[in-house]
Homo-oligomer: A and B are copies of this chain.
Amino acid sequence: MSTTVETRTAEFRDYVKKITSYTQALNVLYWDKATQAPRNGMDARSEIIGTLAGEQFKLATSKEMEALLTELSEPSVLETLDEITRHSVLECKKEFDRNKKIPADRHQEYVVLTAKAETVWEEARANNDFSMFQPYLEKIVNFQLEFIEYWGHDGKNKYNTLLDMYEPGMTVDQLDPIFATLREKTVKLVKAIADSPNKPDTSFLTKNFPVADQEAFSRYILEKIGYDFKSGRMDRSAHPFCTTFNPGDVRITTRYAENDFNSALFSCIHEAGHAMYEQNINPELLFTPLCDGTSMGIHESQSRYWENMVGRSLPFWNHFFADLQKAFPTQFEGVSVEDLHRAVNAVTPSFIRTEADELTYNLHVMIRYEIEKGLINQTIQVADLPKIWNEKMKEYLGVEPPTDTLGVLQDVHWAGGMIGYFPTYSLGNVYAAQFVHVMENEITGYEELIANGDFAPIREWLKEKIHQYGKMKSPRELVQAITGEGTNATYLMNYLEKKYTDVYKL
């Protein structure tokens, strides 16, 4: 490496350290707003978040950044860089190019539009009035179509350009067969479950569970599975989330409902799954753009793995059932561990994605995937969405939302301009099942470990194979390296078929 390159590398590292410092600060400001800030401080808080985000955007798109990236991404230079810097340069360049290709005035208009659209969406949802939201969504789709032209596309499917933002390398060609498998097998399974006379009793899950007891039990479980409270904390917010300031400070939030045992506990385990990913990223990646999960799909594979494949498994409850009964003696009186396992795995087609069970969840996602693909390929018009939405709900889930509030208006994603994000929710499930298949082969006594509450070997495996890398490996590289194949929905369907055959005695 020449002295100039060395100097410029150091400057680049300093520069991205500065940019990632803003990310950390903004995450703190946002977390505090969602969990701690008093009502009267909200407006000023939103303003400073906007101001600092603007400052960060300026840094990330500056002439200085451009010069550094141009010099360091020169192939003859790039190959001399250490691995972390090389990946950082490539990651920043991707981001920089994406930002720079959009004319500044169009970007600004789009930011204003989506901010406004989120407010309008809230109102439209509250009033069950899709026509209010429709013109905004139309503009957002048109912006996305315009942006895709600036960004470029692979000539196969314009939607691929959007998918790549959330799941690098993911394409319609890969997703179509995945969802075809999910659709065919899930719809069949849902039907069989509906016809089964062996429905689990879920009534005890909606007894009274005092919030303080739920919180204590959730904390206990998270400590046991290995969420590190010395590197995080658990608070309350309107909607559960996980946020990372640095690997030593990864926080999760949840909300409690006194008459619902399910929601808080499993949402805590879910968020802890996200958090354990970030807590275990190689600390050397701190202050680089690589100190983050590699994709939304891989991130979701970690949360869904812990929530469903561990947390809703029979071995897990065989281990924790005594603790559960100690924590809630009256609520689970006369309930067996099998009863509990069946109850937390009950399947009920319903309207709202975020409340869906493990099985029908993918059908909710698929509906959104099909609609997004249609919108971006201009085979579906925004005006027809309520009708299309309800038809698809009827077809795949067998239920039809009585209102758009419970239908097409339920998610904020599109109002915020997030088109291409939804598929990552199902990809998370697909990846997780693929990883479990490998773990069963590679980790001795995998199921016994869960039954013994000995999660360390599992965490070690996840850390070694996935977590440590952050964004150093792409999702495709990870999946290929771990499983020896590409994305494959068969494992997920095998897992689900096995689970529900058992739960519903099919």
Q: Which residues of A contact B (CB under 8 A)?
A: 17-18, 21-22, 24-25, 28-29, 32, 36-45, 47-48, 51-52, 55, 228-233, 245-249, 286-287
The answer on a CB contact under 8 Å between B39 and A24 is no
Taken together as a complex, chains A and B put the C-alpha atoms of A234 and B233 apart, in Å, by: 18
The answer on a CB contact under 8 Å between B32 and A44 is no
Taken together as a complex, chains A and B put the C-alpha atoms of A17 and B32 apart, in Å, by: 21
Taken together as a complex, chains A and B put the C-alpha atoms of A228 and B41 apart, in Å, by: 12
List residues of chain B with CB within 8 A of the CB of A248. Answer: 38-44
A194 to chain B, nearest CB (A): 46
Q: Which one of A41, A43, A52, A247 has the greatest number of beta carbons of chain B within 10 Å?
A: A41
Taken together as a complex, chains A and B put the C-alpha atoms of A21 and B25 apart, in Å, by: 12
The answer on a CB contact under 8 Å between B29 and A47 is no
Taken together as a complex, chains A and B put the C-alpha atoms of A22 and B29 apart, in Å, by: 11
Taken together as a complex, chains A and B put the C-alpha atoms of A245 and B32 apart, in Å, by: 12
The answer on a CB contact under 8 Å between A233 and B36 is yes
List residues of chain B with CB within 8 A of the CB of A228. Answer: 40
List residues of chain B with CB within 8 A of the CB of A43. Answer: 248
* Apart from A24-B44, A28-B28, 10 more pairs, CB < 8 Å: A21-B48, A21-B51, A38-B229, A38-B248, A39-B231, A40-B231, A43-B248, A44-B245, A45-B249, A47-B287
List residues of chain B with CB within 8 A of the CB of A29. Answer: 25, 28
A325 to chain B, nearest CB (A): 28
List residues of chain B with CB within 8 A of the CB of A28. Answer: 28-29, 32
A230 to chain B, nearest CB (A): 5
Given contacts A41-B246, A41-B249, A248-B43, contact A52 B230 (CB under 8 A): no
Residue of B nearest to A14 (CB): B51
Q: Which of B38, B55, B245, B247 is in CB contact (< 8 Å) with A249?
A: B38
What is the copy number of this chain in the assembly? 2
List residues of chain B with CB within 8 A of the CB of A233. Answer: 36, 38
Tell me if A's interface is mostly helix, strand, loop or mixed.
Answer: helix
Given contacts A28-B32, A229-B38, contact A249 B44 (CB under 8 A): yes
List residues of chain B with CB within 8 A of the CB of A232. Answer: 38
Taken together as a complex, chains A and B put the C-alpha atoms of A228 and B40 apart, in Å, by: 10
Taken together as a complex, chains A and B put the C-alpha atoms of A229 and B37 apart, in Å, by: 10
Taken together as a complex, chains A and B put the C-alpha atoms of A37 and B194 apart, in Å, by: 48
Q: Which one of A22, A44, A247 has the greatest number of beta carbons of chain B within 10 Å?
A: A44
Q: Which one of A43, A228, A245, A287 has the greatest number of beta carbons of chain B within 10 Å?
A: A245
A186 to chain B, nearest CB (A): 40
Taken together as a complex, chains A and B put the C-alpha atoms of A156 and B32 apart, in Å, by: 48
Given contacts A38-B232, A248-B42, contact A48 B24 (CB under 8 A): yes
A198 to chain B, nearest CB (A): 45
Taken together as a complex, chains A and B put the C-alpha atoms of A43 and B18 apart, in Å, by: 15
The answer on a CB contact under 8 Å between A39 and B246 is no
The answer on a CB contact under 8 Å between A45 and B245 is yes
Residue of B nearest to A19 (CB): B51
A380 to chain B, nearest CB (A): 42
List residues of chain B with CB within 8 A of the CB of A231. Answer: 38-41
Taken together as a complex, chains A and B put the C-alpha atoms of A41 and B283 apart, in Å, by: 11
A25 to chain B, nearest CB (A): 6
A–B pairs, 9, beta carbons within 8 Å: A17-B51, A25-B52, A38-B231, A38-B232, A40-B247, A41-B249, A42-B248, A44-B249, A55-B55
The answer on a CB contact under 8 Å between B230 and A45 is no
A288 to chain B, nearest CB (A): 12
Q: Which one of A42, A52, A247 has the greatest number of beta carbons of chain B within 10 Å?
A: A52
The answer on a CB contact under 8 Å between A25 and B24 is no
List residues of chain B with CB within 8 A of the CB of A42. Answer: 248
List residues of chain B with CB within 8 A of the CB of A18. Answer: 51, 55
List residues of chain B with CB within 8 A of the CB of A40. Answer: 228, 230-231, 247-249
List residues of chain B with CB within 8 A of the CB of A48. Answer: 21, 24-25
Taken together as a complex, chains A and B put the C-alpha atoms of A25 and B45 apart, in Å, by: 9
Residue of B nearest to A246 (CB): B44
List residues of chain B with CB within 8 A of the CB of A229. Answer: 38
List residues of chain B with CB within 8 A of the CB of A37. Answer: 245, 249
